[in-house]
Chain A
Amino acid sequence: MTHAHSQEQLLTFFVAGAEYGVDILRVQEIRGWSAPMPLPRTPAFVKGVINIRGDIVPIADLRARLGLPATEPDVTTAIVVLRIDHGERSTVRGIVVDAMSDVTNVDAAQIKPPPAVAEAAGFAAFARGIATIDDKLITILDVDRVFPSTIAPVGGSPSQPPPLHTP
């Protein structure tokens, strides 16, 4: 639907020095960092859940999702709370970013499909395109794909006990 407009508004932020953007209409709110409660036996990119006004909201670490090295959260670390559509259902989920940047208008013409090398870098799955504004490159994330629709529980590693549900 946003593609039908000649312009769209992006909320942009930094992760590991690179600038990323999401469709601003999907953003519910931006929060400062608060430590999530880790969920047992979930993939590393799911940091856990936080309490947003009584709702339990899962938080994904964008660094881990993009295969980037982890860092300690600092004063600029923020959580971008997004509305994510899964067919008929929609959920609220958050992503951890290094720092907020800006709200930017982009023309559809400025958005290019992700280059082929991105495939190898692993983030083609989440990138909807790359916008060039002045000299900046902004990777536009497809928020519906940052979280896969179901996240398989992590199987037991040698140090871990057998899975909870034994057949």
Chain B
Amino acid sequence: MISDPATLGRQLLGTFLEESFDGLERLEAGLLRLDEHRSSELIDELFRVVHSIKGGAGAVGIVELGALAHAMESVLDALRRGEPAAAGTTSLLLRGVDALRASLRERQAGRSTPADAHAQLAAQIEHCAARGSAPSRGPAHPDTRSPTAAAWRIDIAPGAAPGAVVIDPIKLFRTLADLGELAVDAELTALPDLARFDPGRCYLRWRATLPGDVPRAAIEDLLGWVDGAFDVTIVPPAALAAPTTGEPAPLPAATGAPAVAAGESAPLPALTGAPASAVASAPAAGSIRVAIDKIDQLMNMVGELVITQSMLGELDGDGPLDTARLARIREGLGQLARNTRALQDSVMRLRSMPISGVFNRFPRLVRELGIRLGKEVVLEITGQSTELDKTVLEKLGDPLTHLVRNSIDHGIEPVADRLAAGKSRAGTIRLTAEHRGGDVVVEISDDGRGLDPERIATIARQRGLIAPDAVLDDRAATQLVFLPGFSTAREVSEISGRGVGMDVVRRHVEELGGEIALDSRRGHGTRITLRLPLTLAIIDGQLVRIGDRQFVIPLLSIIESVAVEAPRVSQLAGACEVYRLRDQLIPMIDLAGLLGMPRAPGADNRVMVVVATDTGQLGLMVDELMAQQQVVVKSLETNYQRVPGLSGATILGDGQVAFILDVIALGQTARAPLSIAA
């Protein structure tokens, strides 16, 4: 255990920052949901997040956040009590989130923002809380939870005894927060200037307040175990004659009021309610969360490495360096090279993280751009848990942001235009990520106006990008947007027309070893597909049995599974069977035949898995549906080569290999017979 308070302080700050960034992300996501799904659980959670940031900031001595966090807390508290929200509350709170985040970033960089930096915003938010609460509470009461006379005051100062047990004050405050609503202020007056600063000492003092209805015994119980580490003074509610104001008075000497019974060792209560328990796997700067099994795999690799090392070590004895020994050394070196490569692979796998880290920023972006441009936009996101290499993920942010902005700015029409075109009021932007083959495919599609091939061709001619007499079909014309120096916006708009065009996006994607494709239908929308490499892929799969073998169908592509009823099967003129499912005719794919397996006798009791492909729906015939599970995609190309119809393989729990079907490739097969039949 580290017992140096300065190190501890840094660690404390680090932990606080990391948790706060996570918290702010949840807060942001939650606020965006607030307008549609206003539930008490959601508001409670948001309140808790702000509350722990506020408490934590006080505890680590970040004073500039206090007023702002407090104001946000007030607003959320008012909402929590069911008071109506004033218009624009959510936007104000989102601005609060930005301000908090900016201040914390400064802290992270070792700087601090002025204490009154957010005063104006805080006042606005306070005002908002006051308005919101006005109808039910009569006169405006900006600080709904300002301390009343009935509150416990707890003064905590570092213990006098050197070398005493070190206790994490944040833990202490969290424990206290379990008792009731806790407010903590840090006092920095004791901080000496840098020259006299003793890194071995703690100069911070804290003043905490708890509601007056908390029993004294409960507080003493919790504080009993800090004895020696901190000097604790508990001032009962009655002793606080006047309500305390926001300005903390200087702390009294630690010996003033009765201290907690010394030597009493209360059991350490479970530290529940800590924000860490509910934290989503969001990436914090400089640290990642890693699944246990990845670590286990790494341990195995290191085990093999140690064996190799000891084998090489044995060769390092006395005796002549003859050919036999040389050969064994070479052998050992070869093994070392293999181990190293395997270890490298494993470490690379540690680096893969869910794409939600990038996707999470878009709800906010879409909301704000929509408001600014006066468009109604709905964002649909699927496949957030798709994993990608951290580096790829980090570099994906900018191109994706650009594409989403493009969709809102150029793609989605204003409401009036949409209604005139017979579309729904709100435009939809779809953001999906999935594993396809050995790649990760990210798609951004919208149902907006699509690209105008004629205008693109005209502009390309004007700019001399294509020959004046060049004849292009629509598809070729739309691809011209990838040419350097191309931008179709009639005017340079603030949102996306900054001279950065699709060519830059393409270059970014290609730098990552990926590909970009654009598909647009005029009046119907645009779809942009990014194909990115990955180091490790995990997909949700449906295990199916065909004959005596198991295969995996990616769950994402499955629409439904039906038991086949013979009367619904009809033979088309080609060699293709179709299945009548409700109003649709679905081509049936005989997987066993396609995979060169002996045909199972009788198709009567078989199951048809309906999958979506880019050419429509297909029915894959299987013998049995088995478990649904997450599978790790292993490339067949590592040691072999691409096999048509398979996107990879996986290893099942019993060590068996199962192949993952490439639904897209299967769709291409099915198209040929169908077009003959049609």
Residues of A within 8 A of B (CB): 5-9, 24-25, 28, 36-42, 48-51, 53-58, 83, 91-93, 105, 150-151, 153-154, 160-166
- A-B pairs with the 3 shortest C-beta distances? A40-B595, A164-B644, A166-B672
Known A-B contacts A7-B323, A55-B634, A165-B669; the reply to A50 vs B657 at CB < 8 A is: yes
CA–CA, A50 and B659, complex, Å = 11
Name which residue of chain B comes closest to A49, CB basis: B657
Query: Is B42 an interface position by the 8 A CB rule?
Result: no
CB<8 Å pairs between A and B, sample of 15: A9-B327, A25-B327, A40-B596, A40-B643, A41-B595, A49-B657, A50-B657, A56-B635, A56-B649, A56-B651, A154-B596, A162-B672, A164-B668, A165-B668, A166-B671
Query: Is B655 an interface position by the 8 A CB rule?
Result: yes
Query: Is B100 an interface position by the 8 A CB rule?
Result: no
A55 vs chain B, min Cβ distance (A): 7
**B575-595 Cβ-contact flags toward A at 8 Å (1 or 0):** 000000000000000100111
Q: Which residues of B contact A53 (CB under 8 A)?
A: 300
CA–CA, A105 and B326, complex, Å = 14
Name which residue of chain A comes closest to B330, CB basis: A25
CB contact list, B79-110 vs A, under 8 A: none
B651–A51 CB distance below 8 A: yes
B164 vs chain A, min Cβ distance (A): 50
CA–CA, A24 and B651, complex, Å = 29
Q: Which residues of B contact A151 (CB under 8 A)?
A: 640-641
B626 vs chain A, min Cβ distance (A): 15
Q: Which residues of A contact B330 (CB under 8 A)?
A: 25
Q: How large is the interface on B (under 10, 10 to 19, 20 to 34, 35 or more residues)?
A: 35 or more
Q: Which of B300, B655, B665, B672 contacts A51 (CB 8 A)?
A: B655
Query: Is B264 an interface position by the 8 A CB rule?
Result: no
Q: Which residues of B contact A162 (CB under 8 A)?
A: 669, 672-673
B61 vs chain A, min Cβ distance (A): 48
A39 vs chain B, min Cβ distance (A): 6
Q: Which residues of A contact B658 (CB under 8 A)?
A: 37
Q: Which residues of A contact B643 (CB under 8 A)?
A: 39-42, 153
Q: Which residues of A contact B668 (CB under 8 A)?
A: 164-166
A25–B323 CB distance below 8 A: no
Name which residue of chain A comes closest to B658, CB basis: A37
Interface centre among B297, B590, B639, B646 (most CB of A within 10 A): B639
Query: Is B331 an interface position by the 8 A CB rule?
Result: yes
A60 vs chain B, min Cβ distance (A): 10
Known A-B contacts A28-B338, A37-B659, A165-B665; the reply to A150 vs B641 at CB < 8 A is: yes
Q: Which residues of A contact B136 (CB under 8 A)?
A: none
A127 vs chain B, min Cβ distance (A): 22
A55–B644 CB distance below 8 A: no
Q: Which residues of A contact B189 (CB under 8 A)?
A: none
Query: Is B369 an interface position by the 8 A CB rule?
Result: no
CA–CA, A53 and B594, complex, Å = 29
B657–A37 CB distance below 8 A: yes
Name which residue of chain B comes closest to A84, CB basis: B639
Query: Is B636 an interface position by the 8 A CB rule?
Result: yes
Known A-B contacts A37-B549, A39-B643, A166-B671; the reply to A160 vs B657 at CB < 8 A is: no
Q: Which of A42, A48, A54, A83 contacts B651 (CB 8 A)?
A: A54
Known A-B contacts A56-B657, A165-B665, A166-B669; the reply to A160 vs B644 at CB < 8 A is: no
B644–A41 CB distance below 8 A: yes
Q: Which residues of B contact A37 (CB under 8 A)?
A: 549, 649, 656-659
CA–CA, A161 and B670, complex, Å = 11
CB contact list, B203-228 vs A, under 8 A: none
**B65-90 Cβ-contact flags toward A at 8 Å (1 or 0):** 00000000000000000000000000
A58–B597 CB distance below 8 A: no
Query: Is B638 an interface position by the 8 A CB rule?
Result: yes
B297–A54 CB distance below 8 A: yes
A144 vs chain B, min Cβ distance (A): 14
Q: Which residues of A contact B297 (CB under 8 A)?
A: 54
A166 vs chain B, min Cβ distance (A): 4
Q: Which residues of A contact B656 (CB under 8 A)?
A: 37, 51
Known A-B contacts A37-B656, A37-B658, A51-B657; the reply to A164 vs B638 at CB < 8 A is: no
**B540-578 Cβ-contact flags toward A at 8 Å (1 or 0):** 000000000100000000000000000000000000000
CA–CA, A51 and B643, complex, Å = 17
Q: Which residues of B contact A55 (CB under 8 A)?
A: 634, 638-639
CA–CA, A25 and B323, complex, Å = 14
B104 vs chain A, min Cβ distance (A): 40
Q: Which residues of A contact B671 (CB under 8 A)?
A: 166
Query: Is B334 an interface position by the 8 A CB rule?
Result: yes
Query: Is B370 an interface position by the 8 A CB rule?
Result: no
A161–B593 CB distance below 8 A: yes
Q: Which residues of B contact A166 (CB under 8 A)?
A: 668-669, 671-672
A161 vs chain B, min Cβ distance (A): 5
Q: Which residues of B contact A163 (CB under 8 A)?
A: 644
CA–CA, A39 and B659, complex, Å = 8
CA–CA, A57 and B327, complex, Å = 26
Name which residue of chain B comes closest to A163, CB basis: B644
Query: Is B411 an interface position by the 8 A CB rule?
Result: no
A76 vs chain B, min Cβ distance (A): 22
Q: Which residues of A contact B549 (CB under 8 A)?
A: 37-38
Query: Is B159 an interface position by the 8 A CB rule?
Result: no
Name which residue of chain B comes closest to A94, CB basis: B639
Query: Is B645 an interface position by the 8 A CB rule?
Result: yes
Interface centre among A24, A56, A83 (most CB of B within 10 A): A56
CA–CA, A57 and B645, complex, Å = 18
Name which residue of chain A comes closest to B590, CB basis: A161
Q: Which of A9, A42, A91 contacts B639 (CB 8 A)?
A: A91
Known A-B contacts A25-B334, A28-B338; the reply to A58 vs B669 at CB < 8 A is: no
Q: Which residues of B contact A57 (CB under 8 A)?
A: 639
Q: Which residues of B contact A39 (CB under 8 A)?
A: 636, 640, 643, 646, 659
A83–B338 CB distance below 8 A: yes
Q: Which residues of B contact A83 (CB under 8 A)?
A: 334, 338
Q: Which residues of A contact B639 (CB under 8 A)?
A: 55-58, 91-93
Interface centre among A41, A57, A151, A164 (most CB of B within 10 A): A164
Q: A49-B640, A56-B635, A83-B338 are in contact. List 14 more A-B contacts (CB 8 A).
A: A25-B330, A37-B549, A37-B657, A37-B658, A37-B659, A39-B643, A40-B594, A41-B645, A53-B300, A55-B638, A91-B640, A92-B639, A153-B643, A166-B672
CA–CA, A165 and B297, complex, Å = 37
A38 vs chain B, min Cβ distance (A): 8
A6–B640 CB distance below 8 A: no
Q: Which residues of A contact B659 (CB under 8 A)?
A: 37, 39-40
Known A-B contacts A28-B338, A56-B640; the reply to A164 vs B645 at CB < 8 A is: yes
B638–A91 CB distance below 8 A: yes
Q: Which residues of A contact B638 (CB under 8 A)?
A: 55-56, 91
B673 vs chain A, min Cβ distance (A): 8
Q: Which residues of B contact A9 (CB under 8 A)?
A: 327
A66 vs chain B, min Cβ distance (A): 20
Q: Which residues of A contact B645 (CB under 8 A)?
A: 40-41, 164
CA–CA, A93 and B637, complex, Å = 12
Q: Which residues of A contact B594 (CB under 8 A)?
A: 40, 161, 164
B613 vs chain A, min Cβ distance (A): 13
Interface centre among B590, B596, B634, B651 (most CB of A within 10 A): B596
A48 vs chain B, min Cβ distance (A): 8
A25–B331 CB distance below 8 A: yes
**B306-326 Cβ-contact flags toward A at 8 Å (1 or 0):** 000000000000000001100
Q: Which residues of B contact A5 (CB under 8 A)?
A: 323
CA–CA, A38 and B550, complex, Å = 11
